[in-house]
Structure 1
């Protein structure tokens, strides 16, 4: 691609639309400093996608829009357009087919930036994609601006590597890799989310699987439990009925036995009563004898007890007499010891009383002296406190006075500073100019007019948009109607084709056709075209022969005859048919048929021979005129011969076959027409939508313009309000400052007077404090002496108190001990007295002895008891005889009653059992009814059912198994099925995403491999070119590129250059010109590897001397064979190199203009003039 033209409008200093033609390979841009030459370079960089304002020498992107000058107003937008010649088709992508490519960028003042390629609105990325890998772009090496040479040489290895990548053309690889990485990150994110969902769903499935297993087991156990429970109830109801009948029979038998035993029992009860009366009389006699014996025994026992008591009493008295004598002797000895101790403590008490009296006398003397010392101490203390209080009060007054002085001084200083500030503010207050207010009012009126004009334009655009929307809606409705009509026709066509295909589908016949290789042959009906309305007539005559197949030779016909088809089928071969013979007044049915293939004519002639068409049912006369064997067929397919009528009823398989075929062909033609209609409607609707979109965009621009003007109007109104407020603030503030200054003068005067008075008061208080301090020192000395005397007096007093207290304690101890001994003596005297009395009493009791009298009475009582024993023995024998007779009768009665009681108990038990059986029967019957049990099934199961105990054991086992299951989720089975379906879907998605991740990772590895190979080849080639170009520019020397890293994808590039005769170790040691030549050699090395369509050089020859400039120009001329150069220069040698010169001037301040000069044409004219 070649750059042929640059168009600028409103870009920086190019205010007016300007076209810069670039016809040759070497074009120079010249002009004085500041005329806007470099703005051409900025324009090219900007339109190629530069988005950094600093790279365009501005603070914001709006700085590229012309901002006004002395005679020019600011513009609202800037645009730059580059026109390329693409005759060789070197542009990438869809633009390679265009011979000329226009790349344009427009920036509005509101910040909206738009890109266009050949007039089509595109993205910024679409613009950069065209130049990927060509060396062109906003930051590529093909645009060498001012200072870039220095940046290239002093760039970091990582920054220099960017130029190498652009030369290698791997920008597209990096873009592809970024896109792939983005897609890979999105895919991995989706995979991670699906993995999380699958993990969560897996855990949920495990729980649901366990719950479903439990639910299935629960249902199984519950069903089995219900069956076993119903069977148990049925068996127990049956057993209860049998038990109830058995108990009824037993009750009847036991009742008879019980009545017989009752009769025997009544006879025995009469005999027992007679024997019991005799036994009672004998018992009374026995009781009387026994009572006499008991009385005699009681008397003997009483006397024996009394004898033992008397003997024990004497022994006890003798023991007590001995103990009392011993105690008496002990107490008399203790009394003698206590009397001796009493005399000792009485002597000690006398000594203690004497010491206590002496201590009390001394304590009284000291107590009289202590109050005098305390009085003296208190007087000194009061004098000292009074003096200190006066001193503190004086010091407080002094501090207060000093604080007041400090406050007055700070106040005076603050008043002075405030006066200075107010005077300074009064001098600096500036009144707004009235002219500015009037200018602002005029601007507001102007903006209001502009807003009204913009609003009128907006209303016009809104009307146009509404009309277009109505037309677009109408076109959309027409398009929808056409699409619906087309869709209905297509649906009807698809339905007819489906019915037609179903009519041909005969599985047994299809197998037979396949066996003979005939399934691909067309049917007869597919080769026929029937006049409208005669399809039923043709179907009525041909019937199954509509599906006839054409056989190419007789041999195949023979094979078909050998293997008969399983259903009706017809075949035909090519031949000549005779057709239907002519009959006057009758039209052959064959005339209603047109054969697509002439080969079917012979078969039609045979099958339709003698068949004629009739518009309606013929009358009898017309039928009688028919030739023999002929048949008339009307439109409905009814056939008429001379003597018969056959009514046509379509068969299911072939019904409407030909009519459907005709309808299908008509629908195919209709669908084509409808498709054209839909296309036309789409074109109309699309064009209206595009026009409506353009009007909407214009309307949006108008709204934005109105908003901008309204904002400007609002800002102007705010500025006017600010000016008015500023005037009012100036007036109010100036008056306020003057009033405050007047008040300050009075406050300063009052403050100075108060400060003078305060200083005099402070001096008086200071003199008073000095005198008070002397008084405090004197009072403190007197107070210390009184305090010392009082302390000594108190010490002596305390010692006297301790001595008196010790003496008193000793006296009290002796008195307490004497009282204690006296009390002990009194107690012992009382004990001795009681012991004497007890000993006398015991002596008297031992002297009286009752034992002989008691023994005599005991002997008389023993003889009386022996007589009572004899009487009792005779009475006992009589009782035993009566008791024996009674016992025999009672035993017989008991035996009889013993027989009755079991029978009665047995009868009661049987009644209870019968009632229990009835209750069980009713209970189990009710349970079975409530459970809606299947009685018939239970009756069959009961025949082979185990015993109730076994059934109950099984029920208990099943109930325990159900309880062991715990909480059961009965919906788990359905939830499990739903979750498994969802997991299957997620597993499929996860597998697809994992496959996508592997594919993307493989793509990244492949891109890295290709990039690594291309970058290595590029580095080697650029290094080789750099090594050859450097000596060309310097006339010798050595230069090379060094890769700083092992991995070429991440490694930086470092430049090593040594001009002729130098052995410098760093490129930074070179001079400015040498650095510039080195950078030029490096940039041109990149060009030789991947020549850009054009190169722009902005004063790169500025640091070069004439000799280096000549070598630089020679190199540029050689490279111009492949690359177009547009350079800016002030060097005359470089200017001579140009084929065309473009002069940039600034005749008007801030506005650039272009003047072009063709050097070759100028030289040609000069030569002509010279000739």
Structure 2
């Protein structure tokens, strides 16, 4: 049965259906690293029933399914199919009648694995049974992977036994026997426990019935619980959704309120600015109203003085009325007295007639002078009142002007205080730190330039890094490939050396050699060199002499008469002289021409042992030339067949020394190859170290540049913030300085207006005071005149009253 095709689909790197044809006995798969050569071997192991993910270089069995790439999406199944040619019918069992047998395995991503033979679903064991005893299987020796030869060489006897039984075809019967024994043992155990199991089952049946009821109840309760739980989850979900909507609405509301509050804040700030302007305007209006108030107060004071004057005059008139009434009362009293004295006076009337006439004349004269005096007194009093009113009005004007001047001075003080505060604020405004701003701008420009340079250098290094990484990977891959090749060579060399060392596997013979100090003696094959293709011929002629021991003197063997070697042992010693060469027939080639040794003693021994042994290309030529052979001469073919004059000895590799010469030649070639590979590996490691150092240097520079770039970005950000702060501070200082200057200009203008008003008021006050002083003088003069007229009036009245009294007395 021969493997003819391998069909893969979705298995590791074989994402598309692929068919690998194996047309001959020897087929090689070549390709660069990572193309999937090892995946083919993994596919063979996997389809033959391998269940360990580690044996397939993965962590889980799903790792064999193509997991996707940057250009291809992942697939959901992996399948591998092996097609065997069974035209010779070597497969036994139910599949023997098929000329072609297909072994297929399919693995789904959910972990479902199926096996098929000729598209019929089978068990994994069915596939394993087909290949029992053939050396083909998931863990058989037919599939040799990297490091397997070393593991076989270093394996314990129990582990080697598995490979040997598999190679001898015994494993199939051993597995079947083991399976049958296990079945028989299980059957015996089962039979011994049938009664116990039946009894136990009867007892368990009751418990199971009760448990079934409990389980039924549990399932119902569990169903109700799950339903309730889902309803609860639904309610919670709905409540959560409602809360989310509510919170979203609240958030939107809060956001709107925040925006409204911000708008109100902006509006309030605008109103505040307007209110500040209105405050200044209202302050001016307040000052004007205060001036009007002071004027009103002055007018009120004037009116109050006028009212006091009128009240005083009214009181004086009331006093006069009271005096008049008192006089009337006195006169009425006097009238009563006069009526009493009327009679007395009537008697004297006649006497006083003359005197009456005289008194009447006087009284009339005085009565005529009294109106003139009263009119003069009234006119003087009215003039005094008018002058006094004018004086009071002037005093009120002066007081009003003083009040206005005090108000203006108060305003001037307020303006001066405000000007002082503004000037203090202007003086305390932070000066524009232009040097710091220019320095920050220069530092920012330098940092920006340095950052751009570092970014450019970073871009160049990032461009170089993939190239360095690619060179590092190539160097590593090359070093790994050289290590792998060296490991393979050394493993092969070690295996061959161990095979060479296992030639003397007879423990008794080893003990005998140790007892005679011959365990380190040189062997013939160690110094024998054979042309390629003639190893079997030399082994067939020399047989166990290929492993012969070298002795200094052949007579040394006499000491072994009583204790000969316990097994076959050949020894040689080139202590004799060189014998005469045997003549070689014309056209014949001695076998000695195909073997030589650097040791002259070994060459002498070979000449003796290979004497009259001639090499022929094939058995047909040997049979044609055997009639020409001398007695004891032999013809040998490259396959090791010996042809004598009357016999033919067919060679078969049944000796323990078979292949020793070929192995020795291969060992020497492998030693040279291993040395070359070591040198190449040393050079490759040097290149790898250089590539690694270059990559690390680039990576370190990239990290340093990235860190520096981050630091520069932070520094730029800090400098930008510093520039922004300095610029804003300068702008705020400049704007506030402009506002203060504008307010100072307005204050200067208002100062000028206030000073002008003060000058005007001061001039008005001076003029009013001059007029008031003149008016006061005039008022004093008028008051003196009024007092004089009042005194004259009183004199006139007194004279008139005296005249009236005299008249009355005269009349009485």
**TM-score with structure 1 setting the length:** 0.26
Question: Which structure's relative contact order is higher, taking Cα pairs within 8 Å and 6+ residues apart?
Answer: 1
